[in-house]
Structure 1
């Protein structure tokens, strides 16, 4: 029988390896930024076009590469970081697998320019689908510039799996945030389609967080510090009152490398137990420093997951450190039966000395001077004066006068009786057409039997069609706020709001001013409480950034769905009879009453025959 196993060609092997390393443009951004950091750069620029599909370029001022190194960097398993397997447990750098550039070059057009400080000229290499097109001497500044163009140009199937530019750009920005937060000692600049999105100067960790997520973030942060032999923790957690419904602002950095860990995330959630509202998640930006020998980074192609030797100890230390910080800064309640917080000395009076009050006594004062006294047995008694007892009754009329109050003539106001349009039987039948079951379902009778409606999904359908109609006809009704409402967002969130501003105004929102990090709202749609506005916009931004577009994708449709989801009455909310009946009537006036905006069933029916069978 003939041999059937054969070695794959290099270009095919590289494309297969690229599937592990490069999943989307954000993967390229991560690898190139980490290479720039390993090159000891202190200034890095990231340039993006069309969410990275057309161009991803990273420019750094690092130490650069020689001609030979520049060529070898595109070979598989070529790296300067490790020499033996033992080096995998002494890693202090980012890129050590030696597959990133080879994988990227296999599925894109790559152009590399690099120069070392000691050399007069640099080197330029152009690679197209693993094939070296040219390698020339070039004049270029110190450092490295690498451009990745036309990602997945030779694998159309992979390119078709990419999401919309909005979704892919969000992933790119997420990767940029992760690298920039881990290295506040490096200046970063981010340009998207020719416009500057971020310009982050060298700063401390707190200032880097504020520069990325907006100035309002500063007041939300609580510092966390803990130094033990096993683990060193530094960073910040967000105050409970600023917790969000999304998990966007949650960052763990182990030895300056971003990681994801559900186990450690649970430690944070446990520390916040009892302080967060249901459905909200705390923000945290925590740096964990551990011995490299106690962790294994090389268990996942993207290196975002790490295996710890002793996870239980890390869990306990992390939970205790966060809990201690929340208590230390009076965020968490303190159990102390002796201490009265109202008696605490304000900080401004801590070092002030107390002033002794002056007491003046009138020695000539005698409270018994004008009263007669009876002396007997050496004891004096006060004699009550009864000569003016008639004055106690001055102003009262004598009994029997004509002005005496006659309570028999008091009349009580009663409600006017109205004639009902229905007989008693009809009225009783009308008031019992709907019932609410467990504050979740509305039960109503129909001719054939019984109708059960999910109140949350039904209200979503009603609001969805109302919002869609208002945005389509541009007739949204707005209620003006007494005072303008100012909300703070990050740069990327402001970009999303600007994209949806026109549609939001058609629903009833009125924006008086949109700045770089905040928006000012003077009007909201009718029925939207002011306290819910920030929650609605945060949920909307999250939905837009995470939405998977299809052939019928529409920003208007997405906006209507998101607002309906945020404003619909929740499970557990009690409804009056009139509200129940109004919801039933409004639901069946909708164009598609049987499903919610997310295509989930809104009601079920049960006939009398089906009920009868239950009793057989």
Structure 2
């Protein structure tokens, strides 16, 4: 029998490796930015076209490469970062495996220009699908320029799996932000389709955070700083009142490398215990410095998941550090050992006899109305209190039986039964309106021929609004109402970029934009179906949904817009509905094309037949 195992050709092996290293354009951005940082660059420019699908180019002023290094860097496992296996446990660089450039060159058109400082001319290499097309001498500035064009051109199936430009741009910006936050001392510039998105100057950490997430971030931040033998912690956490419903702005950096750690995230959340509303998540930018030999960063291809030697100790230190910062800056209540002496009891009063509490004597038999018939003359009511009190007492005692006789024939069993019923229905008052009942301000119970139907009022209203908005946006012409005074809303640079990309779709929905600047949106008109106070909520919800890739399975932004509008404007749990409102909601729900599920796929109602109800009580 012949041999069947054979070695794969290099270009095939590189394409397979690219499946792990290069998942989308953002993966290319991450690798190229980290290479520029490892090269000692102080200024890095990132150029994008079509969300990186057409072009990803990184230009840096680092030390550059020689002609031999420029050719060798595209070979598999070629690296200048490590020499032997022991170096893996003492890493001070971003990359080290030597797979990135080889993988990228296998699935794209790559053009490299590089020059070292002491050289007069540099090197230009062009590669297409692992094949070197040309290698020439060129005139280029000091540093390296690497352009990756037509990503996945030779793997069309992989290219088809890429998301919309908006989603892919969001991933690229996420990677850009992580690298820029880790290195505030390096200047970064980002251009997308010839539009400048970021221009970050070299600065300190706080200024870098503010320049990325907007000027409003400055007032939210509380500094964190702690140094121990096993870890040094610095950074910022946001005040509890600025917590968000989504896990968005949460950043951990270890030795200037962005990481994800649910374990350490739990430590931060526990420090905020008692300060956040249910379902809210804190914002934080926390930087760790640990000895390189106490961390393993080679357990995941993207190097975002790491393993610490002493995780339990780090957990305790992080939790205590964040809790201390919140207390130190009067964000959380703490024990105040600096007692204000002016609030103490004066010394002269400490030995004074205690003041006696006045005694109040109440006469339980006093009846102020008993003597009304006797005192026909109002002037005669001004009698000495002692005599009138005696009169009232004697008269009240004589007729005590008259009012007690009213309850003489009342049976004990009847009273206790009535009382029990009152307690039952007082504690669970349902809103009864014909055929509908509102239960716990959350559900609507309606009777049908075969039994009853229990409707979730929020999810049902979401379905009704979703179909209405989708019809108005896609079929009917959306109507706008002009605002008397245009509204200015501040957003981060990232959000502005997303709003700019969706501007045409938002205008189709009824929004009117007077102006869009680098950090502000001026709105002059809104859809007639929403109110002025809801604009910010709706836009923030829409941006969050796009960041979480809600539109992946949608045919356009219109669908995710309709979902976001419905989710933002639907009635919430706890809202009391009148009888007419309940009936209208039920009728509108069952007039929908898909009444059984909400826009996000959750069931809107549950039907209980008479047989099912009988089964419950027959057990």
- TM-score, normalization: structure 2? 0.80
Of 530, 541, 544, the residue aligned with 1:542 is: 544
**1:216 equivalent in structure 2:** 216
**How far off its partner does 1:229 sit?**
0.9
Aligned to 1:48, the other structure's residue is in SS state strand
Q: Is the CA contact (8 Å cut-off) linking 1:164 and 1:548 kept in structure 2?
A: no
Q: Is the CA contact (8 Å cut-off) linking 2:442 and 2:575 kept in structure 1?
A: yes
Q: Is the CA contact (8 Å cut-off) linking 1:200 and 1:211 kept in structure 2?
A: yes
**How far off its partner does 1:523 sit?**
6.5
Instruction: Output one character per residue of 1:413-471: Cα deviation in whole Å (capped at 9) or x when no partner.
Output: xxxxxxxxxxxxxxxx9834212334432111112221111212101012212323443
Aligned to 1:276, the other structure's residue is in SS state coil
Residue 473 (1) aligns with residue 471 (2):
no
**2:65 equivalent in structure 1:** 65
**How far off its partner does 1:237 sit?**
0.9
**1:433 equivalent in structure 2:** 435
Instruction: Output one character per residue of 1:133-189: Cα deviation in whole Å (capped at 9) or x when no partner.
Output: 111111111111111111111111211111111111111111111111111111111
**2:382 equivalent in structure 1:** none
Q: Is the CA contact (8 Å cut-off) linking 2:163 and 2:552 kept in structure 1?
A: no
- The aligned length equals 534
Unaligned runs of 5+ in 1: 344-397, 401-428
Residue 514 (1) aligns with residue 482 (2):
no
Q: Is the CA contact (8 Å cut-off) linking 2:29 and 2:176 kept in structure 1?
A: yes
**2:167 equivalent in structure 1:** 167
Aligned to 1:473, the other structure's residue is in SS state coil
Q: Is the CA contact (8 Å cut-off) linking 1:54 and 1:151 kept in structure 2?
A: yes
Residues 274 and 195 from structure 1, CA distance in 2 versus in 1: closer, same or farther, beyond 3 angstroms? same
**How far off its partner does 1:29 sit?**
0.5
Higher helix share: 2
Cα distance in 2 between the residues matched to 1:452 and 1:150 = 53
**How far off its partner does 1:323 sit?**
1.0
Aligned to 1:77, the other structure's residue is in SS state coil
Instruction: Output one character per residue of 1:258-309: Cα deviation in whole Å (capped at 9) or x when no partner.
Output: 1111111111111112222222221111111000010011111111111000
**1:462 equivalent in structure 2:** 464
Residue 565 (1) aligns with residue 567 (2):
yes
Cα distance in 2 between the residues matched to 1:35 and 1:550 = 31
Unaligned runs of 5+ in 2: 344-376, 380-430
Aligned to 2:46, the other structure's residue is in SS state strand
Alignment of structure 1 residues 193-208 onto 2, 5 Å: 193-208=193-208
Cα distance in 1 between the residues matched to 2:342 and 2:47 = 55
Q: Is the CA contact (8 Å cut-off) linking 1:109 and 1:151 kept in structure 2?
A: yes
**1:313 equivalent in structure 2:** 313
Cα distance in 2 between the residues matched to 1:587 and 1:340 = 62
**How far off its partner does 1:315 sit?**
0.9
Q: Is the CA contact (8 Å cut-off) linking 1:163 and 1:548 kept in structure 2?
A: no
**How far off its partner does 1:220 sit?**
1.2
**2:4 equivalent in structure 1:** 4
**How far off its partner does 1:339 sit?**
5.8
Q: Is the CA contact (8 Å cut-off) linking 1:476 and 1:505 kept in structure 2?
A: no
**How far off its partner does 1:7 sit?**
1.3
**2:141 equivalent in structure 1:** 141
Q: Is the CA contact (8 Å cut-off) linking 2:43 and 2:188 kept in structure 1?
A: yes
**How far off its partner does 1:120 sit?**
0.8
RMSD of Structure 2 on Structure 1 (CA) = 2.8
Cα distance in 2 between the residues matched to 1:289 and 1:157 = 42
**1:452 equivalent in structure 2:** 454
**1:293 equivalent in structure 2:** 293
Instruction: Output one character per residue of 1:534-585: Cα deviation in whole Å (capped at 9) or x when no partner.
Output: 3332220121233365685122222111111122223454444443223212
Of 583, 598, 601, the residue aligned with 2:600 is: 598
**2:271 equivalent in structure 1:** 271
Instruction: Output one character per residue of 1:380-432: Cα deviation in whole Å (capped at 9) or x when no partner.
Output: xxxxxxxxxxxxxxxxxx989xxxxxxxxxxxxxxxxxxxxxxxxxxxx9834
Aligned to 2:302, the other structure's residue is in SS state coil
Aligned to 2:92, the other structure's residue is in SS state coil
Q: Is the CA contact (8 Å cut-off) linking 2:124 and 2:137 kept in structure 1?
A: yes
Q: Is the CA contact (8 Å cut-off) linking 2:225 and 2:235 kept in structure 1?
A: yes
**1:583 equivalent in structure 2:** 585
Cα distance in 2 between the residues matched to 1:475 and 1:109 = 44
**1:494 equivalent in structure 2:** 496
Instruction: Output one character per residue of 1:244-270: Cα deviation in whole Å (capped at 9) or x when no partner.
Output: 222221111100011111111111111
Residues 518 and 339 from structure 1, CA distance in 2 versus in 1: closer, same or farther, beyond 3 angstroms? farther
**1:153 equivalent in structure 2:** 153
**How far off its partner does 1:43 sit?**
0.7
Alignment of structure 1 residues 30-45 onto 2, 5 Å: 30-45=30-45
Instruction: Output one character per residue of 1:488-522: Cα deviation in whole Å (capped at 9) or x when no partner.
Output: 21112112223444654666656555332123457
**How far off its partner does 1:607 sit?**
2.6
Cα distance in 1 between the residues matched to 2:488 and 2:325 = 29
